[in-house]
Amino acid sequence: MGTSLDTLLPYFKSTSVADVVLYLEQGRAIGTTFAVPEETADTATTLDELSISPDLYERNLNNIESTLGENVRLHNRWYRLARGPLRVGRDKLGVFAVVLPSNFIISAGVTSRNTYALLFTLAMACVVLIGVLIAQHITRPLNQLVKTSRAVAEGDLGQRTGSAAPTRSGNWPTPLTK
């Protein structure tokens, strides 16, 4: 009992989050998840364009250490394609390829960079704003005490700080509030 290619290809695409091509028998492409453009409207033509030479098929089939990649142009668009052997257990069934648009990594990097730049800018603005608010909270009572002390030193004994709470040093400014 087997699973049909129509079931496997969408599963492979969703698992790899990329387009997939399957090759059998001397490098003939037998299935792909590429969307066929309306002007082509022929899956066979797309599969012919994706087929590889028998020599390249054999190299990919027998390659056990790495994947072989290349840039390909299909339907007037550039793609980065990586091929490797399709194995089930110890059996080599064919060759598969995972295909991404050539600008995929670049556009994802730009999006990530812009997102991180925006987040960093917002975080720094929040830190600066919080710092200013804390500084004002600390210096406002001290500035009031300095203002009251100067007024008392100039002879205005009617000045009051207006503070009924202890200062940062823990002392009550009682001589200036009475």
Given 3.30.450.20, 3.90.226.10, 3.90.550.10, 3.40.50.300, which CATH number is that of 15-102? 3.30.450.20
Compute the average pLDDT of residues 146-166.
78
Lowest mean pLDDT among 12-16, 35-39, 111-115, 146-150: 35-39
Mind listing the pLDDT tens digit for each residue in 69-115?
788 887 788 888 888 888 888 888 888 888 888 776 655 566 677 88
Ranges of CATH 3.30.450.20 domains, the chain = 15-102
**What is the structure's pLDDT at 7?**
79
Q: Average pLDDT, whole number, for the chain?
A: 79
Q: Are 23 and 96 in contact (CB under 8 A)?
A: yes
pTM tops 0.85: no
How far apart, in whole angstroms, are the C-alpha atoms of residue 80 and residue 61? 19
E strands along the chain, which residues? 19-24, 28-32, 68-74, 77-88, 91-101
Give how far Cα 86 sits from Cα of 65, 69, 153, Å. Answer: 13, 15, 91
**What is the structure's pLDDT at 126?**
94
